[in-house]
Amino acid sequence: MTKYISILRGINVGGTRKIPMTGLKSALENAGFQEVQTYIQSGNVIFNSEETEARILEEKIQEIIAATFGFADVPVIVRNSKEWAESIVNNPFLKENDPDIEKLHLTFLKELPSAENMEKIKSLDFLPDRFQIIGKDVFVYCENGYGRSKITNDFFEKKLKVSATTRNWKTVMKLHEIAKF
């Protein structure tokens, strides 16, 4: 049995695509997911499954959301708890002197971007905001806050041509904490 964290993109934001977490939890449990927990209303789900392929779990969760809530186009990203922990350890901004955690975000990419798109984005400069891509993670440090930054989730989706969803560092750490138990 493997512990997973699933993050949904673009639900319960600004009153659109409303998915109650209690309903999502029940739908996933009814589909055989085990020890399902949700965290806040932005589509964060921790669960256990015997399935070993994240892609299969992503597709299954998308199907459940479409059947239960009528939203056929909700991007779903699933990482196992080991991958999640590796993402935390890999954050390059944590290695700097006294980083402000409030300014840290992590954009999760559904798949690896093409080498061509990676090269194009590496040369872009948005100082004082910074980002670094490691695998399917984009670590973002927004000096003046994420709301004022140009390096947003939409920016990365457009430039890298992959689905993505972003969480602030507090949420990343809380999901890690929940998944450990």
Does residue 58 sit in the same domain as residue 121? no
Q: What is the pLDDT of residues 132-178, one digit of tens each?
A: 999 999 999 999 999 999 999 999 999 999 999 999 999 999 999 99
Does residue 93 sit in the same domain as residue 175? yes
Does residue 175 sit in the same domain as residue 88? yes
At which of 64, 79, 94 does a domain end? 79
User: Is the pLDDT assigned to residue 15 strictly greater than 80?
Assistant: no
Average pLDDT along the chain: 95
User: Is the pLDDT assigned to residue 97 strictly greater than 90?
Assistant: no
Does residue 101 sit in the same domain as residue 171? yes
- Quick one: pLDDT band at residue 16, thresholds 50, 70, 90? confident
Alpha-carbon gap, residue 4 to 19, rounded angstroms: 20
Over 1-30, what HEC string results? CEEEEEEECCCCECCECCCCHHHHHHHHHH
Phi and psi torsions of 96, nearest 5°: -80, 165
- Entry pTM: 0.94
